[in-house]
Amino acid sequence: MCRGLAELAGWRRTVPGLLLAVAGCGHAAGLDRALLADRNPAAHQGDLALHYVVHFPDVLSFQVDGRRDWSGDRPMAPDGRVWFDASKSARVEGLTVPEISLAAARRLGVSPESVRVRVAGYNSQQIYLFGEVSGLQQAVAYQGPETVLELLQRVGGVTPGAAPRDVQVVRSHVADDKRPEVFQVDLAAIVLRHDQKTNIALQPFDKIYIGQTRQSKVSKCLPPWMRALYESISDMRQ
């Protein structure tokens, strides 16, 4: 009986040392909160919609001065056209919003200044997120050449267990028959030090992988009473 108690006491004295040895590895305290605080406006681009290239089945919204019948949301047809009425259409596949405005004005016989266009439905292209991102694995609509920071802010950020230096963007290049590219992203440098070198602009169908810190992996494997102790030790080490 006494031996069992002694062994238990020894185990409980040993546990904090073991937890201390693995606590805090690869973790940037408060990164998940700092990422959403938008502390780095220099990392943000201008109007992304101006650079977005439309494809079927995107939806466009038109405002044509003096012509309510030509205004409103117009879904793109499979042949790449939008229809304003039964006889007037414009081919918009592969164009940007400014180019669509000019194409619509020419087809409708009005001045370019009288036509305003925006993308009402981003339905044709996606970006895929995996790992320690809010909402876990998900596909989100591509809305233009956002940076990694902008995209993560749009989807709600990363989890507290995200590894800030274990982030990769994989670009497959399937459509243009090139070798895949892998970009290493340092979230800690981007968010906390305002270093933009790895804050790349994303392309349609990129895949973003966000790793998990060893601290987070260990914490999830521990029983509740040990997890609380481990997390308190980790917090003291930050």
Place of tokens 């392309």: 203
pLDDT at 26 exceeding the cut of 70: no
pLDDT at 109 exceeding the cut of 70: yes
Alpha-helix residue ranges (DSSP H) falling in 65-158: 97-108, 148-155
Q: Give the Cα separation of 223 and 221 in Å (integer).
A: 7
pLDDT confidence bin for 162, thresholds 50/70/90: confident
pLDDT confidence bin for 4, thresholds 50/70/90: very low
Average pLDDT for 177-186: 92
Domains of the chain, earliest start first:
31-46+124-219 (3.10.560.10), 53-121 (3.30.1950)
N-term to C-term CA, the chain: 40
| Stretch among 3-12, 76-85, 136-145 having the lowest mean pLDDT | 3-12
Say what the pTM is.
0.74
